[in-house]
Amino acid sequence: MLLIGTDSPNAHIPLEVRSGNENQPYAIRSRLGWAIRGPIEDTHASNVINVHFEEARDVLLQRQLERMWTSDFDDRAREDKNGLSIEDKEAMKMMESSITQENGHFKLGLPWRDRKTTLPNNMVLAHARLQQLKRKLSSNETLHKMYTTTVNDYIEKGYAKEVTNIESKSKRVWYLPHHPITNENKPGKVRVVFDCASKYQGISLNSQLLQGPDLMNSLVGVIIRFRQDKVALAADIEAMFHQVRVREDDCDALRFLWWPNGNLDQKPKIYCMNVHLFGATSSPSCTAYALKRTARLCTFI
């Protein structure tokens, strides 16, 4: 199911031809197998129109064809910085200037729209949303156990930690509501999603962050490059967002409330995330940037 052009003539050499009657399709066998050519209906029918691209006079049709070749099958590099918006360029500068390595992981700062901005104390909102979560977990013991396991796993792996110094000197302290997301294809597991779009006094964490450029590879390009070599490899990065750390001075903006060991009868404590989040508008760009940086540092033979 790949497009093979005429620049590979050996693939199109006819090895066998089988024809029918006049004005009927005929079959050609090449090294690629059998292919049928010719009309599929009566060519004398009034509702049949044959169009050659170079001879097409329909401007709309020609534009559609041009768009197909320049967009749908475009495999040009997506890292052309001249095509980035002003905000994307600013986000790239922040990522390039803040990236460091620590214990085998890259660490990136959050791409703030304005690093001098201050955030209001939204603890009230975080407590209100935590009570909603408490009612949900109290009514579903299975979900409660899975959610507790996931949060405890975050803490054990260093993705999150308890905040011991509540009075931070940072001007950007923010408490993130969180909720569970389940996937029927992954029974027994639950993902903790932080609501970075929740607003307090008209402000949300996402509204203060730059989204950053789309650094993901074009799927069309990936498929087309499968032709280049004999073997193609595919892999999955476990918890990709959580493999990229956040700078310490930005972690206070990623605080959340949680009960120790998931005990809903205890007083909730304050924790913060040390990694980029599912739900933050900047996470896809930041983690993709770290992934590309990793690829440049590694050479596979």
Residue-wise pLDDT for 252-275, tens only, equals: 999 999 999 999 999 999 999 999
Residues 89-111 pLDDT 10s: 999 999 999 999 988 899 999 99
At residue 76, does pLDDT exceed 80? no
Q: Which range, of 143-147, 224-228, 283-287, averages the lowest pLDDT?
A: 224-228
Which residue is associated with the tokens 């929740």? 198
Q: Are 111 and 207 in contact (CB under 8 A)?
A: no
Residue from 218, 201, 229, 199 nearest 70 by CA: 218
Task: Give the pLDDT confidence score for residue 179 in this predicted structure.
Answer: 93
pTM exceeding 0.75: no
Alpha carbon distance 55, 278 (integer Å) = 51
Residue from 227, 136, 118, 243 nearest 182 by CA: 136
At residue 25, does pLDDT exceed 90? no
Residue from 114, 92, 110 nearest 289 by CA: 92
Which residue is associated with the tokens 């990236």? 99
Q: Are 246 and 164 in contact (CB under 8 A)?
A: no
Distances (CA, A) of 278 to 21, 134, 136, 264, 268: 63, 21, 21, 24, 22
Q: Which residues are bridge partners to 175 per DSSP?
A: 255
Chain centre to alpha carbon of residue 94 = 20
Alpha carbon distance 206, 189 (integer Å) = 26
Alpha carbon distance 182, 187 (integer Å) = 8
Classify residue 229 by its DSSP letter.
S
Alpha carbon distance 107, 57 (integer Å) = 56
What percent of the chain stands above pLDDT 90? 50
At residue 3, does pLDDT exceed 80? no
Q: Which range, of 72-76, 110-114, 158-162, 202-206, averages the lowest pLDDT?
A: 72-76
Q: Are 271 and 163 in contact (CB under 8 A)?
A: yes
Q: Which range, of 1-5, 226-230, 244-248, averages the lowest pLDDT?
A: 1-5
**What is the DSSP track for 24-43?**
S-EEEEETTEEEEES-SS-T
Distances (CA, A) of 208 to 35, 203, 205, 300: 56, 8, 5, 39
Task: Give the pLDDT confidence score for residue 112 in this predicted structure.
Answer: 95
Alpha carbon distance 150, 266 (integer Å) = 18
Task: Give the pLDDT confidence score for residue 71 in this predicted structure.
Answer: 59
Residues 30-43 pLDDT 10s: 888 888 888 766 55
Q: For residue 106, give the H/E element and its range.
A: strand 105-108
Query: Using alpha carbons only, how large is the chain's radius of gyration in Å?
Result: 28
* Domain 86-297: CATH class, spelled out: alpha beta
What's the whole-number average pLDDT of the chain?
Answer: 84
Q: How confident is the model at residue 54 (pLDDT cuts 50, 70, 90)?
A: very low
Polymer length of the chain? 301
Domain boundaries, the chain: 9-72, 86-297
At residue 45, does pLDDT exceed 80? no
Residue from 107, 155, 116, 112 nearest 259 by CA: 155
Which token pair is 205? 């964490």
